Amino acid sequence: MSTGVANGQGAPARSHAVPLCPSAQPTQDGAFAFGVVGGAPGERRVGYLEGRVPVTDELLAMTGPVKPTHVFRFGAPCAGSGCSHFDGSDCNLATKLVQLMPPVSKSLPACQLRPDCRWWKQEGKAACMRCPVIMTDCYTRSEEQALAANPNTPVPVPVGV
Amino acid sequence: MEYQYAPNIVSMDGFSDAVAASVSLSLEEQQQYSASSSSSFEPTMGYFPVEP
């Protein structure tokens, strides 16, 4: 059984050679939960866990009838060219999030994934300042979020370029 | 630039309660969404596997 859930302790952050995707699926190899979506209806916000909680049957069962990606944020090694958002060097989802969405936080979340996060490595704090409103799956998505989430949406050209 | 939110931390002691609250909120939103929308597809905001 999961050490993370069973003993109430999240695993400490470890360094990964491959950058971690901060909005992964629990079915991916090496996946763990690092956030829980809280807030209020229509104003959901991610709460950041003190540790990384490995994906186990017990963890997934905690969400009952709700899809785990509505409740948790999962991290996992970036799938690279196996993901529609990866262009060979960058995660276009991270780029679009930063360019299309306003920041929602002036302080960096106490995020256990950040040391290995692809979005952080690529976009810096601009990504972290938007991260709390990123839900892998949700029922109420803003127009900007929907645009960013669609792999077919072109990456906007930055102003002044 | 508008900032609305101070990121919060979920302690491992409060983990189960946070998950339960999140599940409850999701069910509430699911009911509202089902009643107000006919749309069924929202792309996942994250890993999106390349089609084979």
pLDDT beneath 70, residues of chain B: 1-7, 36-42
Lowest mean pLDDT across A13-17, A22-26, A41-45, A122-126: A13-17
| Average pLDDT of span A97-123 | 94
Mutate to test the interface with B, among A71, A97, A135 (most CBs of B within 10 A): A71
Tell me what the pLDDT averaged over chain A comes to. Answer: 89
Residue of A28, A41, A47 with shortest CB distance to B9: A47
Select from B26, B29, B37 the residue whose CB has the most chain A CBs within 10 Å, as the one to mutate to test that interface.
B26
Mean pLDDT of A40-56: 92
Strands B8-10 and A43-54 turn out to be parallel
Query: What is the pLDDT, as a whole number, of residue A101?
Result: 94
Average pLDDT over residues A62-75: 97
* Cross-chain CB nearest to A106 (options B3, B28, B46): B3
**pLDDT number for residue A82:** 97
Residue B33's pLDDT is 78
- What is the identity of the amino acid at A62? M
Whole-number pLDDT of residue A1:
36
Query: Could you give the ipTM of this predicted complex?
Result: 0.85
Contact A105 B25 (CB under 8 A): no
Instruction: Look at B42 and A24 and tell me if their CB atoms are within 8 Å.
Output: no
Residues with Cβ < 8 Å from B46, sequence gap 6 or more?
A: A21, A22, A23, A24, A25, A69, A93, A134, A136, A149
The answer, yes or no, to whether residue A9 has pLDDT greater than 80, is: no
Q: Indicate the Cα dihedral angle A103, A157, A145, B38, nearest 10°.
A: 150
pLDDT band, very low/low/confident/very high, at A3 (cuts 50, 70, 90) = very low
- Rounded to an integer, the average pLDDT of A16-28 is 94
